[in-house]
Amino acid sequence: MAEISTIARPYAVAAFNLASETKSLAKWSEMLGFAAAVANDAQMQAYIQDPKVVASNLQNTFLKVCGDNLNEQGQNLIKVLVEYNRMSILPAITSAFEELKAQAEGVLDAQIIAAAKPSAAEVKDLVKRLEVKFGKKIEANVSVDAELIGGMKIIVGDTVIDASVKGQLQNLAYTLSA
C-alpha cells in the first residue's frame, strides 16, 4: 500500500495551485485546517471508517458540520475525497499544503528545545541568527526538555543543531568508545 503522504500530496498540490491562482492561500489554509480538525474528531473518525455509512451520507454530514467554513472549492475537495474513499488522508493533505505554503512564502519552521525556558529576547535573537543562516523567515516553536541538562537543540527542516549538554556527553561517549 502506498504511503499516506504519497496519496495526499497530489491533492495538496492541486489545492495549493488553486489557492495560488486565486491568491487565497490564507483562506485555503484556514479551510483545510478546519476540515482536518473535523476529520480528526474521534466521533467523525468512527463515522468515516464505518463501512455501513453510505458515501452520500458521509458527504452530507461532513459538509453540514463544516458549514460556512468551506467555500465551494473546499466543498468540492471534500466531495472528491468522499467519492474516492480518501477522507482519512485529509490531515495529511492539510500538512502537505502547509509545507507547500511555507515553502512558497519562504518560511521555515524551527523547533527550539531548551533545557530551561529561554527569555523572549533570547528567542528573538536566536530566530534572527537562524534567519541569517538559512536565508528565510523562521517561525519558532519553543519547548522545554529538562533532560537536555543545559543548552538547547534546534531543528530546522533536516538540520539539527545540538548544543545541549546531553548531546555533547553523547558525542563524547561515542568518541571514547570508538
Residue 69 DSSP one-character state: G
Is the domain of 85 the same as that of 20?
yes
- Separation in Å, CA 49 to CA 8, 40, 43, 86, 172: 17, 12, 10, 10, 49
Q: For residue 70, what are the domain limits? A: 4-103
Q: Rounded CA gap, 16 and 105, in Å?
A: 12
Is the domain of 168 the same as that of 113?
yes
Is the domain of 33 the same as that of 78?
yes
Mean pLDDT value across the chain: 92
pLDDT, one tens digit per residue, over 65-104 is: 999 999 999 999 999 999 999 999 999 999 999 989 988 8
Q: Identify the pLDDT of residue 22.
A: 92
Is residue 1 predicted with pLDDT exceeding 60?
no
Contact 156, 162 (CB under 8 A): no
Q: Identify the pLDDT of residue 2.
A: 61
Is residue 134 predicted with pLDDT exceeding 80?
yes
Q: Identify the pLDDT of residue 27.
A: 95
Of all residues in the chain, what percent carry a pLDDT higher than 90? 83
| Last residue of one domain, picked from the residues 103, 119, 137 | 103
User: What's the number of domains the chain is made of?
Assistant: 2
Is the domain of 93 the same as that of 112?
no
Is the domain of 11 the same as that of 99?
yes
- Specify the residue for cell string 482519512: 88
Is the domain of 47 the same as that of 88?
yes
| Last residue of one domain, picked from the residues 103, 124, 140 | 103
| Last residue of one domain, picked from the residues 70, 103, 136 | 103
Instruction: Take residue 3 and report the three cell numbers written for it.
Output: 504511503
pTM of the predicted model, to two decimals? 0.67
Exposure on the CB side of residue 151, measured as CA atoms within 13 A: 12
The secondary structure of 141-171 as a DSSP string is EEEE-GGG-SEEEEEETTEEEEEEHHHHHHH
* DSSP β-ladder status, 137-144 and 107-114: parallel
Is the domain of 14 the same as that of 83?
yes
pLDDT, one tens digit per residue, over 145-158 is: 999 999 999 998 77
**What CATH number is attached to the domain comprising 36?**
1.10.520.20
Torsion of CA 132, 133, 139, 140, to 10 degrees: -120
Q: Identify the pLDDT of residue 97.
A: 95
Is the domain of 86 the same as that of 124?
no
Is the domain of 14 the same as that of 41?
yes
**What CATH number is attached to the domain comprising 163?**
3.40.30
Is the domain of 145 the same as that of 72?
no
